[in-house]
Amino acid sequence: QIPKDPTQRWLRELAALSQQLQQVHPNVLAKILRQRTVYQNEEIVVIDKPYGLPVHGGPGIKNCIADVLPILAKMLENMKAEPLHLCHRLDKETTGVMVLARSKEAAEKIRVLFKTRQVEKVYWAIVLGDPDPVEGVVEIPIVEKEVQSHQSHYKMTLAPNYRLCPEDGKVMKIRKNRNAERAVTRYRRLASASACSLLELQPITGVKHQIRVHLAYGLGCPILGDHKYSHWSKLAPQKLPELTLRRLKLEQSKARHLPLHLHAHRLCLPLGQPLDFVCKPPVFFQKTLRKLELDIPKD
């Protein structure tokens, strides 16, 4: 039963986003990924990763990219094709450019390029609020910590090397956290409206959940639909500004259905000659941009 009311329909679409790909047969999933192939040569296959599809399996996960790589390889080449190999990962909720390798050697070569920061990655994110300044670099180490709340859970968080002295407000160096990883994210605002902004992001390092943590805790601009990093101590849906709710035609009680608006927009891979891949944001992301009156930059 498809609701006639466009707002109800939009809500239904959002609520179904995470579930859709978990309910299809692995062969169907491989077929979907084949249709989303944006480039292939003898070394690599580049796909536009859909929303809600984890890269690796785990508890409660029926479908993931890793499991269908052998089927996808056969669909792309022939029945004797070697399974494809993962070279890097994207979060389950992140969409966009993802590179797969046709051989172990190619995968290893590409992993080294990622590790040595030779791959240029550009993401787009819709965030709450407006970063101040509107462009810059967040360079704050990140560490995983246990959150002590009524429901104990783990989150990545900031482990700064400096803080303000409460007495005189001067910047003072503090002891480094041994487990913290260096994390650097370049950001630039592309548009702002409806109490939200569209940002272009370049993660220079590749720490788990880096962009989400730097935006939420470093800039105070959590990604729209990032229910995990919009608070610290509680597991609760993101609280949205009135204006944003109005433009999205959502009630706060339905905010939990909002998906994470983080998209791997572009990737430049120096394999022989530089290969440049671009994926347009998914339909739900584009609809949100329109509803919030955020103008997509023409590039």
pLDDT in tens, 110-158: 999 999 999 999 999 999 999 999 999 999 999 999 998 777 889 999 9
| Structure confidence by residue, pLDDT tens digits, 63-104 | 999 999 999 999 998 778 899 999 999 999 999 999 999 999
Radius of gyration of the chain (CA): 20
**Domain 1-116 bears CATH identifier 3.30.70:** yes
Looking at residue 181, the DSSP 8-state letter turns out to be B
pTM: 0.94
SS3 257: helix
Report pLDDT digits (tens) over 27-36: 999 999 999 9
Between the alpha carbon of residue 140 and those of residues 46, 119, 188, 219, the distances in Å are 31, 21, 17, 11
CB-based burial label for 168 (10 Å; 0-12, 13-18, 19+): exposed
pLDDT at site 150 = 78
For the annotated catalytic residues, the residue numbers are 91
**The predicted structure's pLDDT at residue 153:** 85
Average pLDDT taken over every residue of the chain: 93
Domain chopping of the chain, boundaries? 1-116, 120-269
Q: Taking CA 140 as the corner, what is the angle to CA 135 and CA 143, rounded to the nearest 5 degrees? A: 140
